Structure 1
Amino acid sequence: MSNKSIISTDKAPAAIGPYSQAVKVGNLVFLSGQIPLDPATMEVVRDSFEAQAVRVFENLKAVAEAAGGTMSDFVKINIFLTDLANFASVNEVMQRYFSAPYPARAAIGVKELPKGVDVEVEGVMSL
């Protein structure tokens, strides 16, 4: 018998490919990357980089809650940015959602992301 379960919520965007919003194995939850899609409309938030980052963290928060956790349960996140000039801005937005002790993190500059967005974040939680 597998101890793997699939996490899904309509409070975060539906998957736009062959993947789950999150998968729980034991006490670990692996959250797929979230981009700034509004879950109600499945449209990309394009107002500003800050608005995109907020939407991404709100989506992660919704999946975390669906898994039975909170943002404080994250142990690792990976941030993908199409422009590393947004590094300070994503740090500022991240501090709205996390407090010390912060999860481990990587910030990675990439050429492009799905749907032409500027930021994507994935993570791992321990419950």
Structure 2
Amino acid sequence: MSRKIIQTDQAPAAIGPYSQAVRVGDTVYLSGQIPLDPATGDLVDGDIAAQARRAFDNLKAVCEAAGGSLGHIARLGLYVTDLGDFASVNAVMAEYFQTPYPARSTIEVSGLPKGAAFEVDAVMVVS
């Protein structure tokens, strides 16, 4: 089965040797999105909610470039540098997703690229 590389200028360019997303058949594997402004490549200012919103906006842009939407996401991976931000991240996620929610994990990590406090990756299924 062939792979199709997904790229959009509406989300930050990859900051390493990876693609924003790869589509294989009906499955799209979305790389991690941190809260970078796609226009400047800089980390957004603000608290964890502002960072989560920017990262979800970036993820949404890549989903759309792949022919889907956030509603097509089957699995999310959330990464935070402080698990104390769990409730704030949940509140922001509720702004972007409706039931039925995707499967999800939330993992506290010691650090993220560019000093971000939040990162999200996903697997999306589209037909």
Q: State the TM-score, normalized to the length of structure 2.
A: 0.98
Please name the residue that 2:68 is paired with. Answer: 69
Please name the residue that 1:7 is paired with. Answer: 6
For structure 2, the 5+ residue unaligned runs are none
Question: What is the CA distance between 1:48 and its match in structure 2?
Answer: 1.4
1:59 aligns with 2:82: no
- Runs of 4+ in structure 1 deviating by more than 6 angstroms, as ranges, are none
1:110 aligns with 2:109: yes
Question: What is the CA distance between 1:46 and its match in structure 2?
Answer: 2.4
SS at match of 2:4: strand
SS at match of 2:12: coil
Aligned counterparts of 1:71 and 1:97: Cα–Cα separation in 2: 7
Please name the residue that 2:94 is paired with. Answer: 95
Please name the residue that 1:78 is paired with. Answer: 77
Please report the RMSD computed on the Cα atoms of aligned residues, expressed in angstroms: 0.6
| AA of the residue aligned to 1:87 | F
Aligned counterparts of 2:37 and 2:98: Cα–Cα separation in 1: 25
SS at match of 1:107: strand
Aligned counterparts of 1:28 and 1:98: Cα–Cα separation in 2: 19
| AA of the residue aligned to 1:54 | R
Aligned length: 126
How many percent of aligned residue pairs carry the same amino acid? 58
